[in-house]
Amino acid sequence: MDNIIVTPRSLSKGDHPFLKKLTDAGYHLVFPSPGRQPTEQELAAVIGDAVGYVAGVEPITAATLAKASKLRVISRNGTGIDNIDTEAAARQCIVIRKAEGANARGVAELTIGLMLAAVRSIPTSDRSLKAEQWKRIQGFELEGKTLGIIGCGKIGKLVASFALAFGMKVLAYDAYPDRNFSPSTEFEYVALENLLENSAIVTLHCPPLTEKKPLIGEQQLSIMRRGAIIINTARQSLVDEASLVRSLDSGAIACYAIDAFDKEPPEDFSLVKHEHVIVTPHIGGYTAESIDRAAEAAIDNLLETLRNA
């Protein structure tokens, strides 16, 4: 009986019904770290006997893959594969599959939730009132404001549609813009600099840059509107945090909301504890619906690849 490794935290406790597709197909499931991300050592201990791997966001390094003598496919339960050494996988003829768009709705809805939390200071108001302090912070309404979307794929397009429904104007930047997507006269593709200069709120929905270089650094922050808000449900490395903290401290950036961290949980909580930062523990795709879509897509992709190998 061939082994399949299962590591996504939403699946690795072994109780998701879609896992039955794998056992019904005759595979033995291996859960190296139920309910949490596996370490490199835990993966190394089991990967040598596996033909398939349903993967989460844990790092899958060349050193780990070097031990994968039988592995034929890595199937992500999401779209990001920057956690995988793709060159090492290619050298070993390991196919990588993605669950395209499975969690787009969940991430897009969380983005809107973070926007509302930021513009109305909901977390701060909640904390102060629970501390028996009556502290009212004036917010602003979304209607008529400009939202800048960096990365207008499936998630970005949903966010654009939601924002337009609030009466916002939407500017989008994408390296490969879909010119067929034109949901409103209030939507426009623009250059990145134009977007940063003119947006009250900027939201990130793009993959990380090469070598995890920041997309938003000191120069980009300097041209943004004073009091702007940044939402990051994509990758922590997209924003240079040292420059960001300086902008938050000076009031140049009013609020930063982040849902994705390079290491989860993070080792350094200094940014998390900043008074002008809103944080969530990577819950964008953590809805019942997104989990089901991602699980089904990842498992179906894995089985299809193994059948055709």
Catalytic residue, from 42, 186, 264, 296: name it.
264
Show pLDDT as tens, one digit a residue, over the chain (309 residues): 899 999 999 999 999 999 999 999 999 999 999 999 999 999 999 999 999 999 999 999 999 999 999 999 999 999 889 999 999 999 999 999 999 999 999 999 999 999 999 999 999 999 999 999 999 999 999 999 999 999 999 999 999 999 999 999 999 999 999 999 999 999 999 999 999 999 999 999 999 998 889 999 999 999 999 999 999 999 999 999 999 999 999 999 999 999 999 888 899 999 999 999 999 999 999 999 999 999 999 999 999 999 997
| Residue 76 annotated in active site | no
Pair 29, 147 in one domain: no
Give the residues across from 258 on adjacent strands: 232, 279
Pair 69, 157 in one domain: no
What residue has token string 């896992």?
19
Pair 169, 274 in one domain: yes
Per-residue 3-state assignment (H helix, E strand, C coil) for 183-209: CCCCEEECCHHHHHHHCCEEEECCCCC
Pair 67, 140 in one domain: no
**H-helix or E-strand spanning residue 277:** strand 277-279
Count other C-beta atoms under 10 Å from residue 251's C-beta. 10
**Domain range enclosing 41:** 3-100+288-308
Pair 91, 119 in one domain: no
Catalytic residue, from 76, 97, 235, 276: name it.
235
Pair 255, 144 in one domain: yes
Pair 241, 119 in one domain: yes
| Cis status, amide bond into 265, omega within 30 of 0 | yes
Pair 66, 79 in one domain: yes
Count other C-beta atoms under 10 Å from residue 298's C-beta. 26
| Residue 28 annotated in active site | no
Pair 275, 135 in one domain: yes
What residue has token string 């909901």?
122
CATH number for the domain spanning 51: value is 3.40.50.720
Pair 148, 250 in one domain: yes
User: Checking DSSP bridges between strand 50-55 and strand 3-6, what pairing results, if any?
Assistant: parallel
Give the residues across from 55 on adjacent strands: 76
Give the residues across from 89 on adjacent strands: none
**H-helix or E-strand spanning residue 127:** helix 122-130
Total domains in the fold of the chain: 2
Pair 45, 165 in one domain: no
| Residue 235 annotated in active site | yes
Pair 150, 263 in one domain: yes
